[in-house]
């Protein structure tokens, strides 16, 4: 997957991703962002990775309070980048 991404790409993880594996395998030219905002040009992009718990118990799930806290840390942005939309 990373070979298809251009220089200075940004990624976060989804609910079925394994965050540690994603971090270990991503090239330096790709930036991992989770619970933070990045300014690209004149726009602010907020990244919130993972998903809330389900009965499946998959690796990218995080507790609801942890997930909600990521949105709080991101703050106001122009674009939100997330696997699971906020409620």
Closest CA to 61 of 71, 51, 69: 51
- The answer to whether the beta carbons of residues 15 and 50 sit under 8 Å apart is yes
| pTM, rounded to two decimals | 0.87
Q: Give the model's pLDDT for residue 2.
A: 82
- The answer to whether the beta carbons of residues 51 and 62 sit under 8 Å apart is yes
Per-residue pLDDT reduced to its tens digit, 27-51 = 999 999 999 999 999 999 999 999 9
Q: Give the model's pLDDT for residue 83.
A: 83
The Cα angle at residue 31 between residues 84 and 16, in degrees rounded to 5 = 35
Look up residue 16 and give its two tokens: 């079925």
Per-residue pLDDT reduced to its tens digit, 45-87 = 999 999 999 999 999 999 999 999 999 999 999 999 998 776 6
Measured distance between the N- and C-terminal CA atoms of the chain, rounded to whole angstroms: 29
């Amino acid at each position: 997957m990373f070979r298809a991404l251009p220089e200075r790409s940004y990624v976060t993880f989804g609910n079925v991703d394994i965050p540690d594996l994603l971090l270990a395998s991503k090239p330096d030219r790709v930036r991992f962002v989770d619970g933070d905002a990045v300014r690209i040009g004149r726009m602010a992009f907020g990244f919130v990775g993972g998903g809330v718990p389900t009965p499946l118990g998959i690796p990218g799930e995080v507790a609801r309070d942890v997930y909600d806290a990521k949105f709080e840390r991101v703050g106001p942005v122009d674009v939100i980048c997330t696997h699971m939309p906020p409620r």
